[in-house]
Amino acid sequence: MLVSACAPAPAKQQSDGFADEVKAPLIVSLNPCADAILAGISPSHLIAVSHYSHDPRSSSMDVATARLFPAISDSAEEIAAFAPDVVVAGTFLPPATEQALARMGFRVVKTGSIASVDDARAQVRALAALTRQEAAGEAMIARMDRALATAAPLPGDTVVPAMIWQGGGIVPGEETLISDLLVRTGFRNFSAGRGLGQGAIVPLEDVLADPPRVLMVAGDGRMMEHPSLAALASGTRRVAFDPRLTFCGGPTIEKAALRLAAIRRDLPR
């Protein structure tokens, strides 16, 4: 879902004569998840991306592609220098920045958090409508759906208990996008089964005492190689999982679904 705030900026004059170009706004994105979607469906109207997308540790999109666009912080003055028609932000936009943009007359559209594949489809459609690129948005959704169909378990396949364990012991619990993806790819979210919500903590001691069938370690190499994890029961499989696949929809869903399917496929029978 997209939520608009702030006064709309005056429409820019276009001189190329194409009506579709007149309608499509020029966008600055402060949201790394929106960066990947907008770069995929309307790159010619994306004039800057969040600085997170230039960082290989946090980017949800190909960094080389992200670096085709200038990176921007959440400074209102820096945003204003690009003179966008629309600023796409997340729900955590600093109030001071939002207020400054309002005073300068910029339109801000916020993308809310997504908790399911259905939410992710709606987010793509909303951004596609914003950029007047509905066909490109539907093509992105079709690619997501093809990946999900490819990654889906076969009828009769055993559901596998799995936990995604992030830095600091953080786990994605119920009503999260990655939990939905786990279910759609043949897993049961072990942390959600415990009633844990997004951002809950499962300490190492609890992992060792009650391990899942698959422990997906979504952190740096030190977590994966922690010596205590060697004490896991032989029935628990430990695998690395890219943390960048855990928090965005759009094209990230394709990569996350196929990675999850590969993990399930490689489990001992």
- What's the CATH code of the domain at 92? 3.40.50.1980
In this structure, are 257 and 171 located in the same domain? yes
Task: Indicate whether 88 and 167 sit together in one domain.
Answer: no
**pTM for the complete prediction?**
0.88
Q: How many domains does the chain have?
A: 2
Choosing from 59, 84, 112, the residue where a domain stops is: 112
Residue appearing with tokens 């690129």: 133
For residue 226, tell me if it sits in a domain.
yes
Task: Mark whether 102 and 171 lie in a shared domain.
Answer: no
Find all residues with CB under 8 Å of 228, minimum gap 6, and list them. 204, 208
146 occurs within a structural domain: no
Q: What is the extent of the structural domain holding 33?
A: 2-112
The pLDDT of residue 112: 83
Asked if residue 142 belongs to a domain, the reply is no
Domain-located, residue 118: no
Same domain, 182 and 105: no
- Asked whether residue 106 falls in the same domain as residue 203, the answer is no
Q: Distance of CA 56 to CAs 8, 63, 104, 218, 231, Å?
A: 34, 6, 33, 15, 32
Q: Within a domain: residue 7? A: yes
**Residue 209, pLDDT score:** 87
Instruction: Check whether residue 96 and residue 170 sit in a common domain.
Output: no
Task: Please name the residues in contact with 118: beta carbons below 8 A apart, sequence gap of 6 or more.
Answer: none
Last residue of a domain, one of 112, 138, 173: 112
Chain centroid offset of residue 87 CA = 18
- The tens-digit pLDDT sequence of the chain (269 residues) is 565 555 444 434 333 333 344 468 999 999 999 999 999 999 999 999 999 999 998 898 999 999 999 999 989 999 999 999 999 999 889 999 999 999 999 999 999 889 999 999 999 999 999 999 999 999 999 999 999 999 999 999 999 999 999 988 899 888 899 999 999 999 999 988 888 877 889 888 888 888 999 999 998 666 667 777 777 767 889 999 999 999 899 999 999 999 999 999 999 87
User: Is 161 in the same domain as 245?
Assistant: yes
Q: What is the model's pLDDT at position 5?
A: 56
235 and 165, same structural domain?
A: yes
Is 136 among the domain residues? no
- Evaluated on CA atoms 188, 197, 115, 178, the torsion sign reads negative
Question: In this structure, is the dihedral angle defined by the CA atoms of residues 44, 48, 54 and 58, taken in order, positive or negative?
Answer: negative
